[in-house]
Structure 1
Amino acid sequence: MTLLDSARAVAGASGDDAVDWAAVADAAKGATDPGALDLAPADREGYASDVRAARARIRHVSGLDFDVPETVDVQNRHHWIDANVETFRRAFAPLEREATFPGVARTLNTATTAGTLSFVASRVLGQYDPLLLAESDDHRLYFVHPNIVGAARQMDVAVPRFRRWIAFHEVTHAAEFGAAPWLGDHLETRLREGVEGLSEAELHADAFSELVTTMTAVEGYAELLMDRAFDDSFDDLRRKLDERREAEGPLGGLLKRLLGFHLKREQYERGKAFFDAVADARDVETAGLVWESPEHLPSDAELDEPMRWVARVAGN
């Protein structure tokens, strides 16, 4: 497919729903180079070996009992788009009860969603997908091989080492959802409440605020485990990855802010500071108490005052 095909897909958006999801998939893939997926057997075994090593190390460091997903997908960018179109569709199902988003045409909805998926598909390295809004328990780990190879070469680091670092990061998320069976439903409820508000032309700020706070905990705890579990040095990887993000230019920076990527970076930093403080004052096991129940999640205020959370959850 080409950019012209992408434009035709958007222009031909049809149906009675707010978004033409088939057109979204066609348009997003038309605007995105799929990338090469020429994996040797050693490459595929490398991904599997990295995931197994990450599971063992993270279990040891965290004390959490969890398994990694049965399915580990090594994908190109088009594969990732296809998988995430379905996730987007499920997430925004409440809006499908309306003909359009309030005041916005179906074609614009379709173009915006396709543009979002295309932008992210060219940058995402790995993803743990708990299929939040699905009825299946088949959680998956995705690795977007062309992006991992491209990023490693751009940063002048060895592909196997960078791939292993990404695997460790994604397995930390599998550990969180494995240790907290309630977490998927908790996120789903907050997301649905927020989206249902949008479908009624309302803003459910509390639902979105709780969603952001929970995701800050998810990202921050993952960073804590990464720092303590990864079996190699990583300061250069983190520094080079940050430099790569900052070097995307004004257009890339604008798109990232419009899509909320700056918020994700802030979530990493704020959540990491919270869990580092807890682990330094107590230990990693105390930090892991966050996954025992939804009531153990830090409040927005506690994220900035970790010892208040420690006193409430772990006692003095």
Structure 2
Amino acid sequence: MEPPLRRSLPRDGGATYREVMTSLGGVEMVDWNLAVTTATRLVRPGPEVTREDARAVVSELRRHAKASEEHVRGFTRMQPEGAGESDTPVLVVDRPGWVRANVAGFRELLSPLLAKMQERRSSGPGGAVLGAVGGKVTGVEVGMLLSFLASRVLGQYETFAPVTRDLPGGPDGGGRLLLVAPNIVHVERELEVDPHDFRLWVCLHEETHRTQFAAVPWLRDHIQGEIQAFLGEADMDLPALLERVREAVQSLAGGRTPETDEENGSGTDRGSIVELVQTPAQREILGRLTAVMSLLEGHADYVMDGVGPEVVPSVAEIREKFQKRRASGAGRLDQALRKLLGLDAKLRQYREGERFVRAVVEDLGMDGFNRVWTSPNTLPTKAEIGRPADWIARMRS
């Protein structure tokens, strides 16, 4: 019998986790251990459930994740070659578990950029001292941001997931599916929808991402290459980056928001953290990344709606209520943080990507749409996401 809201990862940052994180590198620009500790201490525990109910939630999410695999692969006609049940694991986690999994992924993905920044800073006067102090400060700030996000994510397919004993992943270090049980319970209660239908609905969306990467072997390496190229082009102004992070943290603490800055005439609303670091080369790469992420998110939404009516009786009610929640956020604070973190752009990706997928499937059918997965050259451009007819014409030429 599984424990309630199965904690696949240690809650207290125990010896195993510390050893794993230490083995990934020494003193760094970000004190990742401190980021984990800060986030897990600050994150709210989630809705109250009995031990029996918690076990039932975990068990049901696992069943739905398994059932979603068949539903999604049948609807999309995407079948991983030679992939079995263990191609990528499904982990049902609590909020601290989500934090620990994401810190491990962030640390691996960002290591080339942070190493570059570390070298630049170490060569300056007092670099070693600044590094020790700055790493602690940044670790706390990153932890505060993660504590905010950890209470909002329902599920996540981790594409870049370093594998350890406590953090299993797919073959060759690729992929794991996280379902954040307390957040799913919180939202289903907030929306007052059927909990069993809602849990399956969430699993359909996340399983679509799992299927995308399992069925398209080159996709993970392609995205990783684009991200590393983006980071490699970074000519980062560290003080400016840290100031942007602090703005987000101050918003989180209720200090100020882009709107209040504007009202006070300070004019500090300068867009998201991502926008701060763009060089011309990065903007080009970011355009390609935005297109592929729009495709992946839109495809997941399209599949969720396509499968939903057959297996989720109350899907129409869930979709309507969830869309309103997604669009409105949770007030001024949430809207400010979404802008600072670039999450408002993610919302646009859902909408634009879903419109692209729907238009292509209506014109070419599902098999015609699936040509998009042939190679990086058949992925839509950012412009084609907004004009599906252009991609269709390119495929027909």
How high is the TM-score relative to the length of structure 2?
A: 0.70
RMSD: 2.5
Find the partner of 1:24 among 23, 30, 35: 35
Does residue 216 of structure 1 match 2:306?
A: no
Q: Equivalences for 1:1-316 in 2 at 5 Å?
A: 16-35=27-46, 38=51, 41-66=55-80, 69-97=87-115, 98-99=117-118, 105-131=134-160, 136-198=172-234, 203=279, 204-230=282-308, 231-232=311-312, 233-245=314-326, 246-313=328-395, 315=396
Aligned equivalents of 2:73, 2:374: Cα separation in 1: 16
2:78 alignment partner AA: L
Find the residue that maps to 1:139 and give its secondary structure.
strand
Find the residue that maps to 1:136 and give its secondary structure.
helix
Aligned equivalents of 1:126, 1:288: Cα separation in 2: 24
Aligned equivalents of 2:383, 2:390: Cα separation in 1: 9
Residues 117-154 of structure 1: CA deviation (Å, up to 9, x unaligned) = 11110100011112267793352111111111011001
Aligned equivalents of 2:119, 2:298: Cα separation in 1: 36
Partner residue of 2:267?
A: none
Find the residue that maps to 2:193 and give its secondary structure.
coil
Find the residue that maps to 1:99 and give its secondary structure.
helix
Compute the displacement of 1:53 (Å). 1.9
Q: 1:101 to 1:278 in 2, by over 3 A?
A: farther
Q: 1:33 to 1:215 in 2, by over 3 A?
A: same
Residues 216-263 of structure 1: CA deviation (Å, up to 9, x unaligned) = 111111122112122224232122123334151101110111111111
Aligned equivalents of 1:235, 1:262: Cα separation in 2: 24
Q: 1:270 to 1:101 in 2, by over 3 A?
A: farther
1:169 alignment partner AA: H
Any gaps of 5 or more consecutive residues in structure 2? 1-10, 12-25, 125-129, 164-170, 238-277
Compute the displacement of 1:41 (Å). 4.9
| Residues 133, 188 of structure 1: 8 Å contact kept | no
Greater gyration radius: 2
Compute the displacement of 1:306 (Å). 1.1
Aligned equivalents of 1:52, 1:160: Cα separation in 2: 14
Moved more, 75-84 or 15-24: 15-24
Moved more, 135-144 or 155-164: 135-144
Find the residue that maps to 2:43 and give its secondary structure.
coil
Any gaps of 5 or more consecutive residues in structure 1? 2-14
Compute the displacement of 1:26 (Å). 0.6
Compute the displacement of 1:70 (Å). 4.2
Q: 1:207 to 1:101 in 2, by over 3 A?
A: farther
Compute the displacement of 1:269 (Å). 0.5
Residues 156-211 of structure 1: CA deviation (Å, up to 9, x unaligned) = 01222111111000000011111211111111111112222226557222222211
Q: 1:41 to 1:247 in 2, by over 3 A?
A: closer
Identity of aligned residues (%): 31
Aligned equivalents of 1:169, 1:19: Cα separation in 2: 32
Aligned equivalents of 1:283, 1:65: Cα separation in 2: 17
Compute the displacement of 1:276 (Å). 0.6
Moved more, 39-48 or 174-183: 39-48
Partner residue of 1:5?
A: none
Moved more, 62-71 or 251-260: 62-71
Find the residue that maps to 1:74 and give its secondary structure.
strand
Aligned equivalents of 2:56, 2:33: Cα separation in 1: 35
| Residues 72, 208 of structure 2: 8 Å contact kept | yes
Q: 1:40 to 1:306 in 2, by over 3 A?
A: same
